[in-house]
Amino acid sequence: MKRGRKVSGGKYRKQRKSKLFEKNRQEKLVLLGETKRKTLNVRGGNKRTILLKENIANVLANKKIQKVEIKNVLETPQNRFWARQNRLVKGAIIETSIGKAKITNRPSKEGMVNAIIIE
């Protein structure tokens, strides 16, 4: 059978084109560095702030939230090569000025880095 054809030989045609909101955006990489953000226009006339670079994290330690400096990315469970590139992703273990911390949010979507201190 020819690809994209019915048994009778007729063509399959798309019912409609894909809408702009249905298309995927390019993956945003959040790297360690001086803070850099970008504002996107999203569906419904709303705006979303995404993160491109960050060097400050909101860390929960001793039931208090502190803003601390990120020194390095130690480990990334999803992909070990991302730690070498200093990419900030959910679940990554980072070295901060007060100790090791684990990122608990998705920085590329939320525009900030939240973490919990680990022993």
Question: In which residue are the tokens 């809408």 written?
Answer: 19
Going by pLDDT thresholds of 50, 70 and 90, the confidence category of residue 76 is very high
CATH assignment of the domain containing 95: 3.10.290.70
Structure confidence by residue, pLDDT tens digits, 50-69: 999 999 999 999 999 999 99
Number of DSSP helices (H) and strands (E) in the chain, helices first: 2, 8
Domain assignment of residue 33, yes or no: yes
Domain assignment of residue 67, yes or no: yes
Q: What residues make up the domain containing 79?
A: 28-117
Domain assignment of residue 6, yes or no: no
Q: Determine the Cα–Cα distance for residues 16 and 13; give it in Å rounded to an integer.
A: 9
DSSP state of 82: H
Domain assignment of residue 62, yes or no: yes
Predicted TM-score of the model (pTM): 0.80
Positions of E strands within 76-118 = 93-96, 99-103, 114-117
Domain assignment of residue 16, yes or no: no
Domain assignment of residue 22, yes or no: no
The percentage of residues in the chain with a pLDDT greater than 90, rounded to a whole number, is 70
Could you give the number of structural domains in the chain?
A: 1
Domain assignment of residue 92, yes or no: yes
